[in-house]
Amino acid sequence: MKWLSDYGVAINAIAITFLVVVTLLYAIFTQKLVVENRKLREMYKQPYIYLYIEKSDIPFYYLILGNLGGGPAKKIEFEIQPDIKMLNNENLSTVINTVKYLHPSQKYYIYLGNKLLENSGDELKNECKIKISFVDDFGKRMCEEFLLNPTVNNYVFQERNYELREIAAELKLISQNLEKINAKRP
């Protein structure tokens, strides 16, 4: 017992120091976890806009605009260069700029006409660039550019930054991983 009374204060000081260090490490790792959770939530709630032209069985063309992401796209603005004249002599930019909000999984079908994209003297012989800018749930302004190339893939808009299939696969993988994590919780 004499040993304990002689070194008790030192042992207590060492134990308190160890406890302070462990508490600081715990706080640091908790902060990192909070930051990672915030990034994951932002990524999950990020909108992914897609755009393509679809030809129906009857030769009608539709511009398909949608949001594949988990969060809404707000305050949407479009820039089209060169602008496309639709069947009713209205510009595509006039019609498409009425879309200001896309919630997750929402799709717009915009009727373009039946001869709009045929290579028969209309203005769409070269690439058409459509720039879409929008705001996500966190107030972050985002911008995507799509190209309409009449010589590639039957008039498919080609997104410059990523492929929709890759996004869909990544979202599915994230969803599966989150389900596994939630299944392990008590």
Question: Is the same domain home to 70 and 7?
Answer: no
pTM value > 0.75: no
Question: Is the same domain home to 148 and 58?
Answer: yes
Question: Is the same domain home to 69 and 38?
Answer: no
Question: Is the same domain home to 2 and 34?
Answer: yes
In angstroms, the CA 83 to CA 155 distance is 15
Give me the CATH number covering residue 163. 2.60.40
Sign of CA dihedral 184, 104, 113, 85: negative
Question: Is the same domain home to 85 and 133?
Answer: yes
Question: Is the same domain home to 122 and 32?
Answer: no
In this structure, is residue 91 part of a structural domain? yes
Order of strands across the sheet that contains 128-135: 101-102, 73-81, 128-135, 141-148, 157-159
In this structure, is residue 182 part of a structural domain? no
In this structure, is residue 6 part of a structural domain? yes
**By the 8 A CB rule, do 102 and 64 touch?**
no
In this structure, is residue 79 part of a structural domain? yes
Question: Is the same domain home to 58 and 32?
Answer: no
Q: Provide the residue-wise pLDDT of the chain in tens; the chain has 186 residues.
A: 676 677 778 888 899 999 999 999 999 999 999 999 888 888 888 898 988 877 776 767 778 899 988 899 999 999 988 887 776 677 888 888 889 999 998 998 888 776 554 444 444 555 778 899 999 988 999 998 888 765 444 444 444 444 556 676 677 778 887 887 777 766
Give the pLDDT confidence score for residue 121 in this predicted structure. Answer: 42
In this structure, is residue 39 part of a structural domain? yes
Question: 56-94 burial, b if ≥16 CB within 10 A, otherwise e?
Answer: eeeeebbbebbbbbbbbbeebebebeeebbbeeeeebee
Question: Is the same domain home to 79 and 154?
Answer: yes
In this structure, is residue 183 part of a structural domain? no
Which H helix or E strand runs over 51? strand 49-55
Question: Is the same domain home to 77 and 162?
Answer: yes
Question: Is the same domain home to 135 and 78?
Answer: yes
Domain total of the chain: 2
User: Residue 139 is part of which domain span?
Assistant: 49-174
Other beta carbons less than 10 A from residue 171's beta carbon: 16
